[in-house]
Structure 1
Amino acid sequence: MIVKGHPVVLVKIGGCCFSDKKVPRSFHSNIMRHLLEQLGKIPVHPVIVHGGGSFGHPIAKEYRIQDGFNKEVDDQRAGFSFTHDAMVDVNQKIMRLLLDAGIPAYPLQSSALFMLESGKIDSSFLEPVVALIERGFVPVLHGDTAIDLTRGIGILSGDTIIVELAEKLPFEQRHLIYLLDVDGLFDKNPNIHHDAELIRSIHIKNGEITFHDSSGEKQLNFSDNAVSGTIDVTGGIEFKLRELSRLTHENMEAFLVNGCKKNTLIDLHAGRLKDYTIVHINTGG
């Protein structure tokens, strides 16, 4: 049950949790229903950001929206609008499940809240997000197309949005949760390498991303650990960590967990979840 005054937790629902990115506009309603029902049972006040899955990404790639205006791309303006329309479509599906779960969710159009400059957020209008939280609602944002002051148009990633919220929302919130289709970050792609090992703890400080193993501290190498083989115009798991490295607040934590497994959120909140990656951001250690 969502109760006003519960701690604010930022939740990023990856498209891989609700969609097969190789199958256009596929939607796994049973997985999402279970996931969102869990969210309504734990004593937190979530702010939800969801990705595009096979709704927005294939269209954005076809029309090369992430590159900005390009005269070589036919009907790119229509593609810009088609991409947004696809995101509205999946947002409505998620909203219906949230409301069915008894969560007082309210959708916000991300492209109306953020402007880009060369692919990065230039300005944000977060007053509606703040007002909804203060009134006991659960804001729901999503990756989207957006106006870019330099390139004309662009893609606004949900991974960028959640970090912007973590940096600028005026609430005491220390935790971010990333829901994936794997248990966290691995040293190799677990979809390809059966001997891939889960990296259980990562540290981000002063923009550097490190982890420890039996031989000591290491700089994280992204050569082969991001899940690949699907269309993701926003950059995958490496991009998530790069965005987290922009945070300036101290002692924040991000959890990379498997949103497709049963009771992940309930077990995480209860301290029972065994397999996940925790990202320590600007901690004193």
Structure 2
Amino acid sequence: MKLLKIGGSIITDKDGYRTPDKKAIDRITGEISERPEKLILVHGAGSYGHPLVRGFGLDNAKKNYTNKDYISMERVISSVKNLNKLFISSLIEKGVPAHSIHPSSSVLCRKGRIQSFPISPVKQSVENGVIPVLHGDMVIDSEYGGSVLSGDKIISYIAKKTRETERIGMATNSPVLNNDGDKIGVFQNKHIKFLSESETTDVTGGMKNKVNELLEIKKPAFIFDATKPGKIKKFLDGGTVGTEINPKKK
């Protein structure tokens, strides 16, 4: 089984407001349609989530959500569902059976970390020959009231809970670079200081958080620049792409 997260910055203009990159979505779903077998997909919220979360002031941990906060949270959830619908529709147009699974409906967090997440529907979808498509979202939080759940955290959680996982990948809009601006082939602990904490509108931690989530999995994984055609297909074919995150290679 393969796990692939598509960054929201690839399929939207992340610095815009609800601006899909339909050309990128079509290209990416086209590559996926060539290798759709045994695949779980997660996509980021991009400009359908990050600007709204920041604008509503929901990007910082806060206890005791007010009615206004919950209304704002639901607006974010509705917005991200629209992006998910665009992505799913693009897959279906190419004859790929795909199924939306919205984390806001079933995931419970505590202090921003997943506390409860029933993944049996995800696994059953794969067994049925359907691609489950999840996404970055906002969910109920037992401590804060509500919290942002990134696609990176979703990938990490599913990978740790499924023994069947063979390949794990995060497709981003840029490679992982060292201090000299060169791509890092195999990530080592010494490279962590080169990573950015967050991008301009990213409310989920940027590249540093992506790497940390993959390191937590304790399984080999890849982060790669998917703005160039063919990279996603190469990953799904079993090829080496981008930067390998392998806890066994220190």
| Common topology (TM > 0.5) | yes
Distance of 2:224 and 2:191 partners within structure 1: 19
Relative to structure 1, the CA distance from residue 100 to residue 72 in structure 2 (aligned partners, 3 Å threshold; closer, same or farther) is closer
Mapping of 1:4-43 within 5 angstroms? 8-42=1-35
Relative to structure 1, the CA distance from residue 117 to residue 271 in structure 2 (aligned partners, 3 Å threshold; closer, same or farther) is closer
Aligned-residue Cα RMSD (Å) equals 2.4
Q: Which residue does the alignment assign to 2:169?
A: 177
CA contact (8 A) 2:171 2:232 kept: no
Q: TM (normalized to structure 2)?
A: 0.91
Q: Relative to total residues, which structure has the larger strand share, 1 or 2?
A: 1
Distance of 2:36 and 2:159 partners within structure 1: 19
Mapping of 1:1-285 within 5 angstroms? 8-42=1-35, 44-69=37-62, 75-169=68-162, 171-182=163-174, 184-188=175-179, 196-203=181-188, 210=189, 219-222=190-193, 224-226=194-196, 229-248=199-218, 252-269=219-236, 276-281=242-247, 283=248
State percent identity of aligned pairs: 26
* Residues 173-221 of structure 1: per-residue CA shift (max 9 Å, x gap): 1311111111x21014xxxxxx511111014xxxxxx2xxxxxxxx233
Distance of 2:102 and 2:138 partners within structure 1: 10
Unaligned runs of 5+ in 1: 1-7, 189-194, 204-209, 211-218
Q: TM (normalized to structure 1)?
A: 0.80
Moved more, 263-272 or 234-243: 263-272
Relative to structure 1, the CA distance from residue 68 to residue 52 in structure 2 (aligned partners, 3 Å threshold; closer, same or farther) is same
Distance of 1:261 and 1:37 partners within structure 2: 13
* Residues 11-68 of structure 1: per-residue CA shift (max 9 Å, x gap): 1000111111111111111111111111121264210001011111111111222434
Q: Relative to total residues, which structure has the larger helix share, 1 or 2?
A: 2
Distance of 1:164 and 1:72 partners within structure 2: 25
Unaligned runs of 5+ in 2: none
1:270 is displaced (CA, Å) by: 5.2
Distance of 1:69 and 1:245 partners within structure 2: 27
